[in-house]
Chain A
Amino acid sequence: MTYDPSADVIEVIRTPSPGPVAGAYRAFGETLRGLKTTFARIIEGPVTIQYPEEKTPVYPRFRGRHKLHRFEDTGLEKCVGCSLCAAACPADCIRVVAAENTPENRVSAGERYAAVYEINLSRCIFCGYCEVACPFDAITMGHDYELSDYTRSDLIFTKEMLLAEPVERTPLRTEGE
């Protein structure tokens, strides 16, 4: 079977031409409608969020900057230095160096603790796999998304920074918002 190009032609369906007078009337009407639309926006008011002063609230499950946790009663770190988070991390941005807990120096609840715990936030993709991998819920994703800095090395967060109570810079969405 030979190819017939005319079979592919789709006929354009146009509305009947309104003619000059009705066309002019229609164009004028549509212009007025457009003017009404733009004027209605003034009455509606701007929808802009003035960012540094106003912030978009985040959802409770928003994945922002990580937090490390302590037990509330004993004050011991939850992290036992197992490096499962580092293993789960697709961006390879977590570095954990474990050390043994001793009776004199007891840092975590388990046998070992994280002597070094660093997250390179310039590489982190905020996937939340570390949170999922952690067997003790020691690391969770927080709500802070304001993570810019002047040098790359400033974005490597150490254990102390992750353990510290973060500044609540980001509003959380209220129920139903």
Chain B
Amino acid sequence: MRAFANVYYFEPWWIQVVKALVIFLVAFAILPLLTVYERKLMGRMQGRYGPNRVGPFGLLQPLAEIVKFATKEPSRPTTSVGFLFRLAPVIAILTGITALAIVPYGDVQHIFGRRVGLYGIDVSIGPLYVFALAGISFYGIMLGGWSSGSKYSFLGAMRGAAQLISYEVSQGLSLVGVIITAGTLSLTGIVHAQHGMWYVIPQFVGFIVFLVASFAETNRAPFDLVEADAELVQGYFTEYGGTPFVAYLFAEYVNMVVVSGIAVTVFLGGWMIPGNPHVPGWVDPIVVIVKMMLFITFFIWVRATLPRLRYDQLMSFGWKVLLPLATLNLLVTAIIVGA
């Protein structure tokens, strides 16, 4: 049986398991550090230090926080729907991690005489896989907000629904230009197609649209209307505490990493280095991670800079500016490629 059509399925199952474990563990080692990084960087941008008390440079802060969250008493509002209330954070974090599987960290390498692709899996549907999982992850937000039985959660979830639907369209369309140019949906194929020039240059409009839409898709400032701590307390996860709260928090960071990974792969040439010097295979993941960190830094930078948009601004920006831009970009690309 073939799980996916047209996959170059050359790896034995145990290599797949090992790769899945490595990606999962590395991601979960990096994510807590990412939270510290965000808070420290935002602190510096606001003229303060950020967490610096727990451990060297405050690096053990997430450890202390995880202990704190894990020892909280689990509770839920009496108006909540118990089953969905417990299920929603699981959906949120599961879809995020699953999407992490297709980010390519490097080309196919020869490790101990075997061919191993430095990615979870090279699916032939590439970006569509991410969009499918983003579609499901939005159930995590919807169900969580709705089943909490709280008006703030509900408002946050409703906003999230409208926002994700509006911006997913532009995000998807902005990638189509690249897919047309590369002629493949496989993410490794897209990286290989960027050997001559990274797609950030010919597809600059698509890149900008993708970047802006990513902010909305990951519910990050300035599009964090879903959480909107000033108006909605914490939006859809107001009523969550303890580990489910951490799950939502981590899901947000995983989404950020996934979006950065896709952006790096699709627009910034994945593991390519400018000038294409001949480097050993183990450099590839480092290059990808450095590029991802640049993206994440930009995410944090924007969060520290821009105020939250008003709801009608968000909607009109998504539908009246981003969507026409993405469509135009797609049309022009299609005409140029077709001609």
Contacts and interface: CB of A to CB of B under 8 A. Distances in A.
Contacts, number: 37
A53 to B, nearest CB: 11
B48 A35 contact: no
B77 interface: no
A45 to B, nearest CB: 8
Interface in B1-54: 41, 43-49
B10 to A, nearest CB: 45
A132 interface: no
Query: Main SS of the interface on chain A?
Result: helix
A46 B47 contact: yes
Nearest to B302: A35
A122 to B, nearest CB: 29
Contacts of B47: 41, 44-48
Nearest to B304: A38
Contact of A39 (B43, B48, B301, B306): B301
B321 A39 contact: no
B109 interface: no
Contact of B305 (A34, A47, A48, A50): A34
A50 B49 CA distance: 9
Contacts of A35: 301-302, 305
Contacts of A24: 321
B232 to A, nearest CB: 24
Contacts of B45: 38-39, 41-42
Contact of A41 (B46, B302, B321): B46
Nearest to A24: B321
Nearest to B52: A50
A42 B41 CA distance: 8
Nearest to A42: B44
A46 to B, nearest CB: 5
B44 A31 contact: no
Given A24-B321, A31-B306, A34-B306, A48 B301 contact: no
B160 to A, nearest CB: 24
A97 B41 CA distance: 59
A42 B301 CA distance: 11
A122 B144 CA distance: 48
Contacts of A46: 43-44, 47-49
B284 to A, nearest CB: 30
Contacts of A45: 44, 47
Nearest to A33: B305
A48 B48 contact: yes
A17 interface: no
Interface string A18-48: 0000001000000100110111011011111
Interface string B42-83: 011111110000000000000000000000000000000000
25 contacts: A31-B305, A31-B306, A34-B305, A34-B306, A35-B301, A35-B302, A35-B305, A37-B305, A38-B45, A38-B46, A38-B301, A38-B305, A41-B44, A41-B46, A41-B47, A44-B47, A45-B44, A46-B43, A46-B44, A46-B48, A47-B48, A48-B47, A48-B48, A48-B49, A50-B49
Interface of B: 41, 43-49, 301-302, 304-306, 321
Given A31-B305, A38-B46, A41-B45, 5 more contacts: A39-B45, A41-B44, A46-B44, A47-B48, A48-B49
State the 10 A-B residue pairs at the shortest beta-carbon distance, nearest first: A38-B45, A34-B305, A38-B305, A48-B48, A42-B44, A47-B47, A38-B304, A46-B49, A41-B45, A46-B48
